[in-house]
Every structure is written in structure tokens, then in C-alpha cells.
Structure 1
């Protein structure tokens, strides 16, 4: 018998999994990337780096429920955006989840869908922040987050996931290889160019202050990705299981491939390198997770562990322009390049049965005789890259020239770090009754 607490359309198993998946994705951001960022930078930037992630998570949520969700997943307004509006009334949150521009309903409430999509939006801004650590003025970051969410993330999300023109074109992005990783990789690189580099002393000595923390954050990121990719069928389905397994296969292969490249090129394995390889595997499998076979996940993991490695360690170090852009955590390589590898490989390796299990009518990729899918994936990537180059630049110019807020800290503050920004320091040591920082 249906009741207000359990209507006929509610599948409690799907709802439980969707909320669990959302929580796993949220844990990737806080504490996952917060811990990773705090450990991978110099100690004087640990608080500021973690706080950029902490602030973004909170700010995105408020913007998301007031207007952002409906821009990304609401009723059609433009080929790349829905009609903005709040998702806060009890009547709205208790109703069955429904994506109007796709005419698709799910077996859980709107509140679950709004929260699930929020954690994806939040981690995108937090990934982007990785390119800007160690010099961005916090007030500029405060303004940047809601503006970029609105004019970049929501547009890309609607275009591909919400029923926009790239969705109708047939671009496959299972869980965010384009919407999240390619967009954040592009925007992070562009924003890093606008900000300019860190001070010389921070660039010359950029050793992590706590590799143990980096590994803890990386571990949370890896396991949290099970919710990232496993939640996107919007059901506790067979395809969710495929997506989770493929995610771990590709990530493991990518990490091993990157480590092997380090050994062959540098003569020793690097922990930070292994973390980069892991991240690249997670990124590359994201657009393909539930539509490719396990053998393809291994091949994709090899590609994501070698192509971004070459991009970061050879192209990034030998090309003058690349050296001049201070992308602190190499977001361009681990998210832009790995996102391109994953997106294009999806066009090659997508299977008919995998697409059908995900609810797509697309007849697979090149291995199924549909070589056109590769072209569609490239076209989708071109839109995401172009849109983010333009809008990231416009937003930063607006902050700098219209709002009159400097994008980077003063040289004096850059020399000091956290204490100059926040009046706090990550590590304080006492010698007797004396504070030794």
C-alpha cells in the first residue's frame, strides 16, 4: 500500500544506493582532496589549499539549490542551459525525480537527485582549484566559484547530461570525463595563466610537506570513485556493477603503467607519480565506465598511465609555454589530457550491450562498426574546451577589472603564506614555552 513516506514509484534499494553513491563522491572532496591538497603543497600553504576546497564545497551547494541545479537539469531554455530556479520547496523535494529535458524519471525523490548532482558540481570546482594553489587571493576565489559554476559547469552539464544539444547529438559521457574533468582541466590551465606563477622560491622548492596525507587523500579519492561512476545509472543496476569494476581495473592499470614509466625514465618509482597515475586512470575511465568491456578498461588504463605521463614529464617540461603556466598540481595533464584520452577511447571501445544497459540507443563505438562515435566524442571535447577557455577568461577579467578584486596575493603575503591569508598555520611546534613555527 502506497503512503506519503513510501509512494508507489519509490524503489528503496535504488534510493539507498543513490544516497550512498552521493556520499562517497562527497567524501572525495571533503576530506579526500582537502587532505591531499594540504599534504602535497609546502607547509606554509596547507591551510589555504584545504580551505579553498572547503569553501567551494559549501558555496557550490547553496548556489546549486537556489538556481544551479535547474540550469543544469531543469526545463529547456537554451540548447545549453535550463531555466534557473530554486530546488528548495518540500513539494519539489518529495516528488519523483524527473529530468524534464530528457523526459526521464527515476525511482527516487528529487531531493536525492539534487544532492547527487551537487557533489559532482562541487568536486569540479575543487579539482580546478588544484591548478591555482599558493597564490590566488581568497576573495577572488570566493567570487570565482559561483560565477564559474553558473556559466561553465551548469552549461556543460546541461549540454551533455541534462538534455542539451550534445546529448541529442549522441556524445557519450558516462560520469563526467567531459563535464567534470575536461572542463576543470581546461579552466584550471587557463586560470593559472591569468594568475601568473607562484613566487620563485615556492616553484623551486615545491616538495610536499606530508606524503602520508597525500596517500590518505588519494585512497579516499580512489574508493570514493565507486560512487562517482557506480551512481550514474541512477539505479542499483547491473550496469552500476560493471562501472565499479571497470573503474578499479582501469585505475590499477594506469597507476602501474605510470610507475613503470617513472622507473624506465627516472630510474626509480615515485609515490607522487603513482598518485598521478591513479588519478589519470580514474579520470579516463569516467566517460566510459559502464559502456566498455573489462579488456578495454585494461587498454584504457595503459593509455591513461602513459599518455598523460608523457604530457607531464616530457611535453610539459620541454615546451616553453607549458613551463610558463604554473599549473601547480598538473591539472592540465591529469584531467585535461586524461579526459581527452578517456573521451576519445569511449568512442572506440563502447559496446552495444554496454550502451543498452546504460539506457542509450547509441550502437556502440568503433569496435562495433560505429566509427562516427569517435568524431562525436571529439566534437563534444572541442565544445567543452572552447567554452571553458572563453568563459573562464571572461569571469576572471570581470573579477579583476569590474569588481576590482586582484586575482593574486601581494608578494609580501606570498612570502608568508597561510598566516598572512588566514592568521593561522597548519603546523605549530613548541619548544618549552616558545612557539617555533
Structure 2
């Protein structure tokens, strides 16, 4: 269980990094990680998942991290992106996918891994875990199809990127509800998770100047914050008291179903407000503090060079453009460089030395 929770904390930071790609100072990121985990993630995780947390006591439902992981990462990533600033205009105007096939491979691994993400949350083999897995796949498939349908209606064609975005929003939306809703509810959640985040990303994002100003590189705000909030609200509407009693092991969990529905929805909305407030405040404080220690942002010269190059590496090295390949040493030489000649050393073992 400890390892499971460690991985949850780690993936939350990876999602935040998706909003900051290409311009955050590496040293600032190394400081940000432990500070954010300690002073932001821990607060929300304790409040929602710990039996002594105040939201847990109020009866909030977050089956597998729709609030703790996805809403937190979406809000924190968007807030941090505001403080770090945007990428260069060149990068923002032209940011094509590097490899569609790798995107599909990664999306497939992500979808497959979510089986353990949601199905493993009860920490046991049970009906609850099985239902969580089934609902995860049903909601995700529905969301993907709805997103593609909207792309076809409004843009005239589907896209791989659209399919992956729809897949992610479906996975995120079902996360807070996976084991506590029926299959028909998962279908409805999939329809909404494939349409509402699509609308916020494709329409509202282009109309609201503040959203355009903040450079959220991988649209984490829409795919995780919006979809996570949507999932939390729908959980309050569709959660089955019987399934909640199985998961939370509380015998009298919402026996009065009619009256409990409105109460649960209110608790879910309160949870959203708490997570948003906590992450905006704590992430902002952490970013401001870091600015007094090291720059949050790479310099303009480093941005023009590329964040991979300043580490002495090249993310997408292609063999060509006048380069000559010296296969024995697995290295490249440009056309105007002399390729060193290798000679046999006189020592034992016949090691190759460069002239």
C-alpha cells in the first residue's frame, strides 16, 4: 500500500511537468518537487483519503484520485505555468507531435496501466475492484468515441491526438467514481468527459484571454483539472450507496438515498473548491520562494538553444545533414571535422586508441 501511494504521488508531479515543458529551470524543478509534495499534495491527500481528514469525515468520494491526483495536478500545473511564463513564440506557434506512432504506443500503455491504477485501489481482489476495471474501460472508450465524433463534426476529420485526448479525459473522469457507480453511469460519464473538456479546450480556451496567456504546454488544465472536477461532480450524482458501503466499509453510508444525493453533491463541490484553493495558494507560494533562490525560468539564450541542449544532449538526433558516422565508436562527425584515425596500442588486449 505504501508503494502504491508513492506511485500516486510521483505520477501527480509528472502531470504537473507536462504543463511546464520546455522552459522551467532544472534546478528550480528539483526544488519544486519536494516542496510541492510536502506542502500541497500531502494536505489534499490527507484531507480526502485519511480517515481522520476533514473531507473524509464529511463523506467525500474520491475512489482513486480524481481530486487528489488529477484535479491537483491540473490546477497546480496551470498555476506554476503562470509563474514560470510561456515558451518562446516560435515554440508556441509550431509545436507538432514528434512521433505519432510513439504517441499511440504511450497511450496504449497508459490505458492498460489505468487498469491497475483504478482496479488496484481496493488493495484486494473483489467485486469492487472488478467493477472499477470494467467502468474504467467503458467510460474511456465512450469518451474517446465522443471526442472523435466532435472532431469529425466541427473539423471534418478525426485525429490521433484527438483520440488520445478523449481517452485521457475519460480515464480521468471515471477515476473518482470507478468502483462506486454502475455501468450505465460510466457510459454517461464517458459521453460528458468526451464533450465538456473538448468544449473548454477547443472553444473556451480560444475565447478567454487569461487561458490563452498561460502556456499550459500539454493542456493539463483541460484534460485533468476539468475532467477531474467533472468526474467528482458526477460521482456525487451517480454513486451507489451499496457500492460505497462495500468500498468504504461503512455500514450506514447514505442509507437515505434521496436526501443523500444532494448532500453528496454538495460535499463533492466543497472538495473541488478546497483542492483548487489549496493548490493555487501553495503552488504560488512555492514558486515565489524558489524565485528568491534560483531563476524559475531558463534564460532567453537557453530557450533558443533548447532545454535538452543545455544538458549536453540532443533529444531528436538525426543522422544526415553532412554528418559522417564512425560506427566503431558510435559517434558523429560533421563534414568539416576530421575523423580521428584509430591505431592499435602496443599494450596487451589490443585496445584501440585515438590518434
TM-score by length of 2: 0.88
> Could you tell me which residue of structure 2 aligns to residue 136 of structure 1?
24
> Could you tell me which residue of structure 1 aligns to residue 274 of structure 2?
383
Q: Secondary structure at the match of 1:388?
A: helix
Q: Note the alpha carbon deviations across 1:151-191, whole angstroms, 9 max, x for none.
A: 11111111111121110011100000000000000000101
Q: Note the alpha carbon deviations across 1:50-108, whole angstroms, 9 max, x for none.
A: xxxxxxxxxxxxxxxxxxxxxxxxxxxxxxxxxxxxxxxxxxxxxxxxxxxxxxxxxxx
Q: Is the 8 A contact 1:157 1:179 kept in 2?
A: yes
Aligned length: 323
Shift of 1:199: 0.3
1:254 to 134, 143, 152: 143
Q: In 1, distance between residues paired with 2:56 and 2:189? A: 23
Q: Secondary structure at the match of 1:171?
A: coil
Q: Secondary structure at the match of 1:433?
A: strand
Q: In 1, distance between residues paired with 2:73 and 2:307? A: 25
Q: Give the 5 Å matches for 1:383-402.
A: 383-401=274-292
> Could you tell me which residue of structure 1 aligns to residue 82 of structure 2?
193
> Could you tell me which residue of structure 1 aligns to residue 121 of structure 2?
232
Q: Note the alpha carbon deviations across 1:297-339, whole angstroms, 9 max, x for none.
A: 0000001000000000000111111100100010000001001
Shift of 1:400: 0.3
**Residues 419 and 190 (structure 1 numbering): CA distance in 2 closer, same or farther, change over 3 Å?**
closer
2:236 to 347, 370, 382: 347
Higher Rg of the two aligned structures: 2
Q: In 2, distance between residues paired with 1:417 and 1:436? A: 21
Q: In 1, distance between residues paired with 2:273 and 2:255? A: 21
Q: Give the 5 Å matches for 1:168-179.
A: 168-179=57-68
Which has the bigger relative contact order, CA under 8 A and spacing at least 6?
Answer: 2
Shift of 1:208: 0.9
> Could you tell me which residue of structure 1 aligns to residue 174 of structure 2?
285
Q: In 2, distance between residues paired with 1:262 and 1:376? A: 34
Are 1:145 and 2:36 an aligned pair? no
Q: In 1, distance between residues paired with 2:212 and 2:233? A: 26
**Residues 201 and 366 (structure 1 numbering): CA distance in 2 closer, same or farther, change over 3 Å?**
farther
Are 1:329 and 2:221 an aligned pair? no
Q: Secondary structure at the match of 1:268?
A: coil
Q: In 2, distance between residues paired with 1:417 and 1:140? A: 17
> Could you tell me which residue of structure 1 aligns to residue 227 of structure 2?
338
Q: In 2, distance between residues paired with 1:369 and 1:171? A: 12
* CA RMSD in angstroms, aligned pairs only: 1.7
Please list every run of 5 or more consecutive structure 1 residues that lacks an aligned counterpart in the other structure.
1-112
Please list every run of 5 or more consecutive structure 2 residues that lacks an aligned counterpart in the other structure.
326-331, 335-355
Q: Is the 8 A contact 1:347 1:366 kept in 2?
A: no
Q: In 2, distance between residues paired with 1:226 and 1:201? A: 38
Q: Note the alpha carbon deviations across 1:241-293, whole angstroms, 9 max, x for none.
A: 00000000000001111111111111110111110110000000000000000
Shift of 1:364: 7.5
Q: In 2, distance between residues paired with 1:265 and 1:366? A: 40
**Residues 367 and 138 (structure 1 numbering): CA distance in 2 closer, same or farther, change over 3 Å?**
farther
Q: In 2, distance between residues paired with 1:294 and 1:174? A: 15
Q: In 2, distance between residues paired with 1:236 and 1:388? A: 34
**Residues 360 and 376 (structure 1 numbering): CA distance in 2 closer, same or farther, change over 3 Å?**
farther
Shift of 1:418: 3.8
**Residues 267 and 155 (structure 1 numbering): CA distance in 2 closer, same or farther, change over 3 Å?**
same
Shift of 1:436: 8.4
**Residues 161 and 282 (structure 1 numbering): CA distance in 2 closer, same or farther, change over 3 Å?**
same
Q: Note the alpha carbon deviations across 1:198-229, whole angstroms, 9 max, x for none.
A: 00000010101111111111111111001111
Shift of 1:365: 9.7
> Could you tell me which residue of structure 2 aligns to residue 299 of structure 1?
188
Q: Give the 5 Å matches for 1:309-320.
A: 309-320=198-209
**Residues 184 and 274 (structure 1 numbering): CA distance in 2 closer, same or farther, change over 3 Å?**
same
